Copies of this chain bind each other. A is one copy, B any other.
């Protein structure tokens, strides 16, 4: 690959990393009065990044490089993949008119504002006009970026390259239909909230120390990353040697720190795991948000809410919180952290109910974008589905249709990546368990290295060499499927709740 093109790739990666640094800093260390100036700085960096990406000289260099064709000796297979990924990003950027970018940014500002006011007033109607404006712009965006008649595909492509509604809908619909009776069966057992999670206060400094222990336990490299505290936990990668996680400390919700850290560590291990030869290139990235989420969910749920993991860690947790957990044993703890209950709020949902929250949002987004659902009817459509899928009814819009910030930004197409994460996680975990028959024994003695090594070799190190589903297919032998996830849920929750699911 010619030096000019490689330099431009380095430059774009460096800019991306700096944007992530400035965004991370905004959430953890920014002085209160600096928010407007930081927004300006981020906007300047993004404009520079956009300018470099759409630069016609880059387009020509990429065209020259790909002209050689897939069998050419001029480029290595990795270089061909770099050209492919960057060309794809560039074309999406080029197709977005500057006027639309500005209009979207303005509408997003207004959307956030209206969404906040609507939440304050607990009235969706206050947000409706802003959402209508955002939807109109998203339709324009989809048409500008191109699609096959299904606008949603153009938006989905921004988060889940290669995925299509035609492929996704049957899987999510089948998943939904399998989950509804499962949730109902578990709800019938009527198990109360575990006492150790019902109002007891856990020292936040101890929580912090335990999350640091968990990071070490899963093998997150603290010399190539760090953890800080923020209101909403997130992971920002400045580069593979500088991956920044945050966790949330809340005295009466100690599990949000523990499982939040495991979740972000899953993202972090992925970002730390790219092969050295991919660094500072478009391949040093995760192929999709769904595959990214598969790694966070794998460590948070498949590992972190598993019994084997706590065989090793529960004694230390009890030692850290002797009063709070004095009356809890390993099995009680394992049952407690896997408590299932249909609830109103997605981010607090358990493993079993979670994907129903996603199915609901996905169906509504699709209907909105297809003009099959007027925005004014969104709250009633939401509430009707909540009743049908989960058997609960939001008392007001703030606990219903207004709960997530995604639509406040007009961000459509993101929600399904959460479900894809759960499904991919289960399939990858099943494949890992086949490859590592002793995995639970390793975890039970505190050894996560076999699983981490397997994930690194099979998934992390490859970066964006393949699109997400192709990567999963290469590892598991199958692409997107709800089979492994349902097998996992049935076995685990059937045992925990003593019911056949």
Q: Bound state CA distance, A366 and B225, in angstroms?
A: 45
| A53 to B: closest C-beta gap in Å | 14
Picked from B41, B224, B240, the residue with its CB within 8 Å of the CB of A17 is B41
- Inter-chain contact B34/A239, CB cutoff 8 Å: yes
User: 5 closest A-B pairs (Cβ-Cβ)?
Assistant: A34-B242, A14-B44, A34-B241, A32-B223, A33-B241
Q: Contacts A11-B44, A44-B10 hold; do A225 and B17 have CB atoms under 8 A apart?
A: no
A113 to B34, CA, bound (A): 38
A45 within 8 A of B: yes
Interface residues as binary, A205-249 with B (CB distance below 8 Å gives 1, 0 otherwise):
000000000000000011111100000000000111110000000
Shortest distance between the CB of A24 and any CB in chain B (Å): 9
Which of these, B31, B36, B41, contacts A14 with CB under 8 Å?
Answer: B41
| Best-surrounded residue of A25, A34, A279 (most CB of chain B within 10 A) | A34
Report the bound CA distance from A295 to B249 in whole Å. 40
A33 to B220: give the CA distance in the assembly, Å. 13
Sample of 30 A–B contacts (CB below 8 Å): A10-B40, A11-B47, A14-B40, A14-B41, A14-B44, A14-B45, A15-B44, A18-B22, A18-B41, A21-B22, A30-B242, A31-B222, A31-B223, A31-B224, A31-B225, A31-B226, A31-B242, A32-B224, A33-B224, A33-B242, A34-B238, A34-B239, A34-B241, A34-B242, A37-B241, A37-B279, A38-B242, A40-B280, A41-B238, A41-B239
Please classify the interface of chain A as helix (H, G, I), strand (E, B), loop, or mixed, using the class held by over half of its residues: helix
> With A10-B40, A11-B44 known to touch, is A221 a contact of B18 (CB < 8 Å)?
no
Check: A48 CB closer than 8 A to any chain B CB: yes
Q: How far, in angstroms, from A41 to B44 measured CA to CA in the complex? A: 16
Report A5-27 CB contacts with B as 1/0, cut-off 8 Å: 00000110011011001100100
Check: A29 CB closer than 8 A to any chain B CB. Answer: yes
Which among B10, B14, B37, B47 is the interface contact of A242 at CB below 8 angstroms? B37
| Integer count of this chain's copies in the complex | 2
CA of A34 to CA of B240, assembled, Å: 8
The residue from B33, B44, B226 contacting A29, defined by CB atoms under 8 A apart:
B226
- A278-331 interface (Cβ within 8 A of B): 279-280
Assembly CA distance A45 to B11 (angstroms): 9
The answer to whether A18 and B34 touch across the interface, beta carbons within 8 angstroms, is no
Please report the C-alpha to C-alpha distance between residue A221 and residue B32 in the assembled complex, in whole angstroms. 10
Residues of chain B within 8 A (CB-CB) of A32 are 223-224
Bound CA–CA A37/B224 (angstroms): 11
Q: By the criterion CB–CB under 8 Å, are B34 and A224 in contact?
A: yes
The smallest beta-carbon distance between A240 and chain B, in angstroms, is: 8
Quick one: which of A17, A37, A224 has the most chain B CB within 10 A? Answer: A37
Residue of B nearest to A14 (CB): B44
A11–B46 CA distance with the chains assembled, in angstroms: 11
Q: Which residue of B30, B41, B48 is within 8 Å of A48 (Cβ)?
A: B48
A47 cross-chain contacts in B, Cβ below 8 A: 11
Contact, CB under 8 Å: A223 / B33: yes
Check if B31 sits within 8 Å of A241, measured CB to CB. yes
Q: Which residue of the partner chain B has the closest CB to A16?
A: B41
| Apart from A33-B221, A34-B239: 9 A-B pairs, beta carbons within 8 A | A11-B47, A11-B48, A14-B41, A17-B37, A31-B223, A33-B242, A34-B224, A38-B242, A40-B280
